[in-house]
Amino acid sequence: MVLDNLGSSLRGSLDKLQGKSRLSEEDVEEIVKEIQRSLLSADVDVSLVMDLSSSIKERATEEEPPGGTSARDHVLKIVYEELVDLIGESTDIPLEPQTIMLAGLQGSGKTTTAAKMAWWFSKKGLRPAVIQTDTFRPGAYDQAKQMCERAEVDFYGDPEGEDPVQIARDGLEATDDADVHIVDTAGRHALEDSLIDEIEEIEGVVQPDLSLLVLDAAIGQGAKEQAREFDDSVGIGGVVITKLDGTAKGGGALTAVNETDSSISFLGTGETVQDIERFEPNGFISRLLG
Annotated binding residue at 107? Answer: yes
User: How far, in Å, CA of 45 to CA of 49, rounded?
Assistant: 6
User: How far, in Å, CA of 117 to CA of 276, rounded?
Assistant: 7
CB of 45 to ligand GDP, least distance (A): 22
In this structure, the number of other CB atoms found within 10 A of the CB of residue 127 comes to: 15
Site stretch for ligand GDP (CB under 6 A), options 59-67, 84-92, 103-111, 228-236? 103-111
Total binding residues toward ligand GDP, as defined by CB under 6 A: 20
Residue choice 88, 161, 235, 270 for contact with ligand GDP (CB under 6 A): 270
16 contacts 8 by C-beta, under 8 angstroms:
no
Nearer to ligand GDP, 72 or 110 (CB): 110
Annotated binding residue at 235? Answer: no
**What CA–CA distances, in Å, run from 40 to 48, 181, 221?**
10, 37, 11
Q: Is position 277 an interface residue for ligand GDP (rule: CB under 6 A)? A: no
Q: What single string gives the DSSP state of each residue in 184-239?
A: E----SS--HHHHHHHHHHHHHH--SEEEEEEETT--THHHHHHHHHHHHH---EE
CB of 194 to ligand GDP, least distance (A): 16
Task: Tell which positions 208-267 bind ligand GDP, by CB under 6 A.
Answer: 242-243, 245-246
Task: Tell which positions 120-149 bind ligand GDP, by CB under 6 A.
Answer: 137, 143
40 contacts 49 by C-beta, under 8 angstroms:
yes
**Amino acid sitting at position 115:** A
Cβ contacts of residue 191 below 8 Å, gap of 6+? Answer: 105, 225, 226, 229
Annotated binding residue at 142? Answer: no
Nearer to ligand GDP, 76 or 168 (CB): 168
Q: Is position 111 an interface residue for ligand GDP (rule: CB under 6 A)? A: yes
Site stretch for ligand GDP (CB under 6 A), options 10-18, 110-118, 188-196, 258-266? 110-118
Annotated binding residue at 110? Answer: yes
User: How far, in Å, CA of 98 to CA of 167, rounded?
Assistant: 18
Closest C-alpha among 221, 258, 260, 263 to residue 241: 263
Annotated binding residue at 187? Answer: yes
CB of 203 to ligand GDP, least distance (A): 17
Nearer to ligand GDP, 136 or 228 (CB): 136
Nearer to ligand GDP, 88 or 270 (CB): 270
Closest C-alpha among 91, 113, 110, 101 to residue 210: 101
User: How far, in Å, CA of 51 to CA of 65, rounded?
Assistant: 22
Q: Is position 187 an interface residue for ligand GDP (rule: CB under 6 A)? A: yes
Annotated binding residue at 185? Answer: yes
Task: Tell which positions 22-81 bind ligand GDP, by CB under 6 A.
Answer: none
Task: Tell which positions 78-97 bind ligand GDP, by CB under 6 A.
Answer: none
Annotated binding residue at 242? Answer: yes
Annotated binding residue at 3? Answer: no
Site stretch for ligand GDP (CB under 6 A), options 122-130, 153-161, 249-257, 269-277? 269-277
Beta bridge partners of 132: 184
Residues that constitute the known binding site: 104-111, 184-188, 242-245
User: Residue numbers of the site for ligand GDP (CB under 6 A)?
Assistant: 104, 106-112, 137, 143, 187, 242-243, 245-246, 268-271, 275
